[in-house]
């Protein structure tokens, strides 16, 4: 995954969901994350039109953040074969 431009990182929100949100465009789509200050939770979405190994993302998260717990969902989305012309 190749970054396109600089990431945008903004602190916003209220209550127990206040925290930093990150958006990083990549050549094949985007990576978004929200870091909740109060609970130290991380919500991460890696969306790419190019195939990748989810274990690679999990390894980066483990190395970078050393989470106590994690829950992972991986979805494969297929573009429809009948594209509009």
Q: Which pLDDT value is given to residue 77? A: 80
Q: Which pLDDT value is given to residue 36? A: 95
Q: Which is nearest to 64 in space by CA: 76, 56, 54?
A: 56
Q: Which pLDDT value is given to residue 17? A: 87
Q: What tokens were used for 81?
A: 């074969």
Q: How far is CA 11 from the centre of its chain?
A: 16
Quote the CA–CA distance of 85 and 75 in Å, as a whole number.
Answer: 27
Quote the CA–CA distance of 5 and 31 in Å, as a whole number.
Answer: 12
| pLDDT tens, position by position, 9-47 | 999 988 988 999 999 999 999 999 999 999 999 999 999
């Amino acid at each position: 995954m190749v970054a396109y431009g600089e990431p945008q990182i903004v602190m916003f929100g209220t209550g127990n969901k206040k925290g930093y949100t990150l958006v990083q465009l990549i050549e094949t789509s985007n990576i978004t994350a929200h870091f909740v200050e109060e609970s130290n939770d991380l919500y991460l979405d890696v969306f790419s039109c190019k195939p990748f190994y989810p274990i690679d993302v999990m390894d980066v998260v483990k190395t970078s953040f050393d989470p106590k717990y994690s829950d992972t969902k991986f979805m494969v989305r297929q573009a429809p074969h009948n594209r509009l012309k």
